[in-house]
Amino acid sequence: MELRPYQLRAVDDCAQHFLKKCEIPAIAILPTGAGKSIIIAEIIKKVGGKFLVLQPNKEILEQNIEKYRRIGPASIYSAILKKKEKADVVFATIGSIVYERIFDEHRQIIVDECHCVNPEAGMYQHFLGRKDIVVLGLTATPYRLKTSGNSFMLEFITRQRPGFFGKVIHVTQQSELLKSFYLSKLVYKEKHEVVFENVKMRGMEYCEKSLLKEFKRIKIQDLILKEIEIAEKEGKKCLVFVQFIEILQELLKKKPSIRILSGTTPQEERRKILEDFKEGKISTVANVGVLTTGFDYPALNTIIIARATRSLSLWYQMCGRGQRISEGKNCCQVVDICGNLNILGDVQTLETVLQNGSWFVTRGNQKITNKTITINKTK
């Protein structure tokens, strides 16, 4: 496969991190749709030796190893996939490998979705706390939420104290990919009737009980169905993000032709639904919390988001499912049913910038990381 110019730069920058055996864990920032799986494979190919690639879930593991196996052999170490094999190159879910010592000789480690690493405690911190290892993290969202009382901050992950990742070694901006037509443009449609004055807050997120009550008041399932019908009449491939199982079941009752997915969907049934979706046998799939990451379907051209959130990472990940390019696809429409765009903004305006020696994520001219935001407490 011929690499794109930014992929070549990313592979070179990241390969040097391993070849120089850098002791400081570093991150590379690549937008959703940039081809992280391909970049991971090419890094391993260029550097050689034993590699361990860590992912937070099986979906991302399957996506990453599928790309690598076009280059060379690799094994899977994941309880949920019922495979625990050892090889020079191993793709593992962190939960399956955290307490294992059989991979102590794998000193080169790539952490995909590295914003999941808690710098203070947790599985990653336990496993990566070894000496004499070289660690590289990849992410599209290089920040973590920090809360204190009634205030919160999106902390850039190399600026956390305490912190794990110490430096940024590569950044690919969305603007470059959009200008070069390597990303599909997102076109937003705001269509919501949620009155947020009716919804209580818990910390920085919406109280689910209060939010569900508001969703029922506005009959959100009817709003979703109307948008599904519009998309299907236009022959669109439609992915729907729903917040509650109860709403998902209401959708199915009203429109039995759609397929639904949740955390309780059996693995084989889930595989078949997604296979049929990608083959065009199903036009619409609605899900609760299972397709925000690791779902790769370039032809997807409509996303309906009926999930209210104050999380920029989650909003970005949901919108990002439509950023990949595909033949005949001009753009991806994002239908915002819950007012997220007004609060969190257009994800394709996000940039990672270095100012006065410090890294920030910005939206336009506005810094959105390392900036304290105060919210009103809810009794």
Mean pLDDT by 10 residues, the chain (379 residues): 94 98 96 95 97 93 93 94 94 92 93 90 88 95 82 88 93 96 96 91 88 95 96 96 95 94 91 94 94 90 95 94 94 96 93 93 89 59
| φ, ψ (nearest 5 deg) of residue 201 | -110, 150
Whether 332 and 300 have beta carbons less than 8 Å apart is answered as yes
One-character DSSP codes across 27-40: EEE--TTS-HHHHH
5-178 and 184-345 share one fold: yes
- Number of Cβ within a 10 Å radius of residue 254: 13
Provide the pLDDT for residue 376.
54
Q: Give the separation between CA 38 and CA 351, rounded to whole angstroms.
A: 22
Q: Give the separation between CA 186 and CA 298, rounded to whole angstroms.
A: 13
The helix/strand/coil state of 115 is helix
Whether 215 and 339 have beta carbons less than 8 Å apart is answered as no
84: amino acid identity, one letter: K
Provide the pLDDT for residue 129.
86
Instruction: Decide: pTM greater than 0.85.
Output: yes
In order of 41, 115, 121, 201, 240, the CA distances from 28 in angstroms are 14, 11, 22, 34, 30
Query: Dihedral through CA 355, CA 358, CA 361, CA 365, nearest 10?
Result: -30
Provide the pLDDT for residue 374.
63
| C-alpha closest to that of 243 among 267, 228, 262 | 262
* Helix/strand/coil percent split, the chain, to 5: 35, 25, 40
Could you say which architecture CATH assigns to the domain 184-345? 3-Layer(aba) Sandwich (3.40)
- The partner residues of 335 in beta bridges, in order of sequence, read 189, 304
Distance of CA 281 to the CA centre of its chain: 26
Query: Dihedral through CA 144, CA 158, CA 31, CA 285, nearest 10?
Result: -20
Strand order in the sheet with 358-363: 350-355, 358-363, 366-367
Whether 166 and 173 have beta carbons less than 8 Å apart is answered as no
Among all chains, which residue has been given the structure tokens 């009716």?
Answer: 198
In words, the CATH class of domain 5-178 is alpha beta
| C-alpha closest to that of 247 among 276, 224, 270 | 224
Domain regions of the chain by residue span: 5-178, 184-345
